[in-house]
Copies of this chain bind each other. A is one copy, B any other.
């Protein structure tokens, strides 16, 4: 982003920034440098601008994070609800949800803890899920708990995706953790990553379990 002509003070003839451009650059930056080095200053550099210029388009850093979450939410696939059988709709949603966040792995912890009040597009995603499950005949009283339980699993799995691959590596202490070392070795023999394997396993269990709960056979 270096259109390297210096810009002197005063309103430019054509504005260089807009909200969408800022959000895109912010996600790209957060993803590339990590949450520690993600700053308004660094974002300004990325956009070829001085930090205060950002405040004409976003209220503050927290509002920026909420906006970023909206962008991520938009790429979550809710198209299955009301069209496919609910199991398949739910699985499509879960996988794309995790992928959406894993495309911005460093964003998860920051974004997952921001309240969504006022974030219309994110709320829209939940509305789609709820509508789909209601249409499939789920009890009104059970939809919220089921959705949140599944979402907790998805978010936790996304969190697991941030962890370094050798997260569990005992290192020096391997002698004191023979069981852990053993199952780790068995796991590393498999094709798929620890995170992927655990996610698909848990998703299968969750969807089957919800099916049983809602009294519908296979």
A contacts, CB < 8 Å to B: 109-110, 112-113, 115-118, 120, 123-124, 126-127, 130-131, 134, 140-141, 143-146, 148-157, 159-160, 162-164, 166-173, 176-180, 182-184, 186-187, 189-190, 194-195, 197-199, 201-202, 204-206, 208-210, 212-213
Contact = CB atoms under 8 A, between A and B. Distances in A.
A80 to B, nearest CB: 16
22 contacts: A115-B167, A117-B167, A120-B173, A124-B177, A130-B180, A130-B182, A141-B183, A141-B189, A145-B187, A145-B201, A146-B198, A148-B160, A148-B195, A149-B198, A149-B205, A152-B156, A156-B156, A201-B213, A205-B205, A205-B209, A205-B210, A206-B209
How many identical subunits does the complex contain? 2
Contacts of A148: 160, 194-195, 197-198
Nearest to A166: B117
Contact of A183 (B116, B130, B154, B198): B130
B152 A183 contact: no
A202 B173 CA distance: 33
Nearest to A195: B148
Given A146-B198, A149-B199, A153-B202, 11 more contacts: A113-B163, A115-B163, A123-B173, A123-B180, A127-B179, A141-B183, A141-B186, A144-B187, A152-B198, A154-B156, A155-B160
